Structure 1
Amino acid sequence: MSFMRSFASQVVRNYNNRILNVERVTNWSTMSSFQLRSLSDLNVKHNSQKNQFFVELGSDKAVLEYKEVKPGLLDLYHTEVPNQLRGKGIAQMLAKEAFDYMVKNNIKMIVSCTYLQKYLKDNPNEEYTKQVFENKH
C-alpha cells in the first residue's frame, strides 16, 4: 500500500512540476498576436543590405541570415521563426526563396545553418546542390 501511495505521490509531483515549468517559461506578454491563415498570405522578402531573407509576421518576423564570404560566395548561417509560428512551413519558404535566389544569380553557398542542411537533405534538388560550395584543397 505504501508503495502505491508513494508512486501516486511521485506522479502528482512530476505532473505539477511540468505544469509549473510550462507556466514559468511561457511569457504571454511577448506572444505575437499574428494569426497565420495560409502560407499563401505570406511573402518572402530579401534585404541585401541586412543580408537576410525575411517574412513579416505582424510585429515579429522570420529570418534567414547570411554573410558574404567573398564575392559570389555566401554563408547561409541562421534561420529563425518565432516560437509560436514554428512548424507551419515558414522556414521552408525562406529556404526555398534563398536557394532559388542562389540558383538564379549563380551564387555559391556555404550551408552552415543546420535547418538548411536538413532542408537540402529532405528536398534534394540538383539546381540547389550545384550551388553548394565545395572546398577543394
Structure 2
Amino acid sequence: MSYFMTISGAISAVPAIDGIELLLADDAQKYIKSLANELACLDGTPVHLVHDCETGTSDVVIADLENALLDGKEVYDLPAARILQACFDNGLSFRIWWANNDRDAYISNALPVSDLRKTFEAIKAHRGAIWGVSG
C-alpha cells in the first residue's frame, strides 16, 4: 500500500522541487492511469501524479511529511509541504490518499480541507486530503 498525490490544473506556475517529479497521469503507473478519467472528472485537468522519484508513487514525500508531523518537527521545507503550498498559492486542486484494497480509496480515504493547516491535520490523522474543485 502506498500514498498517492495528484494535482489537477495548469502546473506551469509550480516551482521545481527537489524530490518531486510531476508526471501526467497517462505517463504514470498503471494504477494512476486507470483512475485518470475519474480523477479528471472530480478534480479537473490535466491530472498529474506527484512522483517521489523513487517508487512510482507519492509515498516517500507524503510519508516523510506524515512522520515529521507526528514527531512535531518543522515541515514547511519538506517537498510535500512545498508542493501543497504551491497548490494553494496557484489554485491547483490536489488529492492525497492511502491506496489500499478499496477501489474507491481515492474518494473514501481523503477529507476535504480548506488550508495548509487542515491538510497537515488530515495527514497527521492518517487520512488523505482533497482541495480545490472537489474539495
Q: Name the TM-score, length of structure 2 as normaliser.
A: 0.29
Structure with a larger share of its residues in helix: 1
Query: Which has the greater radius of gyration?
Result: 1
Using CA pairs below 8 Å that are at least 6 residues apart, which structure has the higher relative contact order?
A: 2
Q: Name the TM-score, length of structure 1 as normaliser.
A: 0.29
